[in-house]
């Protein structure tokens, strides 16, 4: 009986250790430029991602049929703002890959994406789910991810003279 109990405890400890070792080589943040806005104004949402050394993140601006998982942004619809255009990756690197048979874009160390948004009501709350894939240069291991981000914008104050 002691052996069975020891074996079960060993399996549980191993499972907890595996959970603790789950890698997350990308850390995301969201900000607004400007940080405050009134209804009717257009702002930029800025998505920054820090990527651990020896890892890279696939960008959002290549053919998703190519093979690698592109970074995608899914905005929660609401009546406080509307998207203007598409998410734009800022200065990703390009590479042709014979395995995929095409060119893809990616980021190393850090990445930046911008989405323009028209403010419809004061104090909007923006919620977005970012999905994609980060891969390791060392062992060619790829990890899909899903990040939930949100941002509450302040209203611009009226200037008084």
Q: What is the CATH number of the domain that holds 147?
A: 2.60.40.1250
Checking if the pLDDT of 45 tops 60, the result is: yes
- Where in the sequence is the domain holding 135, given as residue range(s)? 25-152
Q: What's the gap between Cα 18 and its chain centre?
A: 24
Q: Contact at 8 Å (CB) between 26 and 144?
A: no
Share of the chain above pLDDT 90, in %: 66
Query: How many domains are contained in the chain?
Result: 1
- Domain for residue 157, yes or no? no
pLDDT tens across 135-151, in order?
Answer: 998 888 999 999 999 99
pTM of the model: 0.81
The tens digit of pLDDT for each residue in 85-110 reads 999 999 999 999 888 889 999 999 99
Q: Is 15 domain-assigned?
A: no
């Amino acid at each position: 009986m002691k052996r069975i109990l020891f074996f079960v405890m060993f399996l549980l400890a191993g499972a907890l250790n595996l959970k603790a070792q789950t890698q997350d080589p990308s850390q995301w943040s969201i900000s607004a430029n400007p940080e405050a806005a009134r209804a009717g104004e257009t702002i930029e949402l800025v998505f920054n991602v820090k990527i651990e050394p020896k890892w890279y993140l696939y960008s959002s601006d290549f053919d998703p049929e190519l093979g690698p998982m592109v970074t995608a942004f899914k905005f929660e619809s609401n009546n406080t703002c509307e998207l203007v255009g598409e998410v734009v990756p800022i200065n990703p690197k390009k590479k042709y890959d014979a395995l995929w048979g095409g060119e893809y874009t990616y980021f190393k160390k850090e990445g930046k994406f911008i989405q323009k948004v028209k403010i419809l009501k004061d104090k909007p709350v923006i919620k977005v789910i970012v999905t994609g894939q980060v891969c390791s240069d060392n062992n060619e291991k790829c990890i899909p991810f899903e990040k939930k981000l949100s941002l509450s914008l302040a209203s611009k104050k009226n200037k008084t003279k």
